[in-house]
Each structure stands twice: as structure tokens, then as C-alpha cells.
Amino acid sequence: MKEDPKVIIRRFYDEVINGRNLALLDELTTPDFIEHEDVAGVAPGREGAKQFFSMVQGGFPDFRMNVEDVIAEGDKVVVRSRLTGTHEGEFMGVAATGKTIDVSVIDIVLFSEGKVAEHWGVTDTGGLMAQLSS
């Protein structure tokens, strides 16, 4: 029986992102995983996703992705969440400020054979950088 994509995506947020288990990314994504959200300096695919989450962890050691909504239709899942944390390390060229952030994030995930195959993300990066500079 095929596992519900909503269950898989919750596991992704709980264990990979919030649980800091980046090795699990290999199990939950397809080998040819495609990342459509452009982040400067981050490689594509699985390794790029690991690199991105490591970068966020370095800048915000207490960061969390707090899931607010999960909507599924066929092989796509949409997640509305909030990224929160304290800026205690360098992030995107900005030295630690000690400030807290609370940023809106929308993720759209395409599943293939029970695994994450593609990701499109909309992160309020402008809002994040404004919170760090204010």
C-alpha cells in the first residue's frame, strides 16, 4: 500500500528539517530530486538541499519550520509554514545579530513513487533580511 504523501511530508518536516536528520533526505527523496527554489551558492538536487539546511542551521541553530497547513491533491502537496529562529551565526553574508526571525514559507512538493521528486518554494527572504537589519 502506497504511503500518504501528507504523512511523508510531515515526516520530512519533523525528522529531516526540525530533527536535523539530513541523512534521511536520501531516503525520502528520489535520486534525481529537483529543487526549483533558487538559492545563491547552493548546488542542485539532494546535496543542494542538504547544503541549504546546513546553512540555515549554521545561521539559526534553533530554527524550526512550524507547519500551519498541509494540502494534498493527487501527487502534489502544499505546505504553509513559518520559519522561526535566532540569528546566532553567519547567514547569507550577514554576521550574527542575535535577532529572532519569523518568516512565511510556502512549499509545493511533487511526489513520485512515494518520494519527494521536486520542490518549489516561496520564502519571504525580503522579510527575513528586513528582520535581521531592523
Number of structural domains the chain divides into: 1
Contact of 103 with 86, CB cutoff 8 Å: no
CATH number (domain holding residue 89): 3.10.450.50
Q: Tens digit of pLDDT for each residue in 3-33?
A: 899 999 999 999 999 999 999 999 999 999 9
* Average confidence (pLDDT) per 10 residues, the chain, 134 residues: 86 96 95 90 88 94 97 96 97 94 97 95 93 89
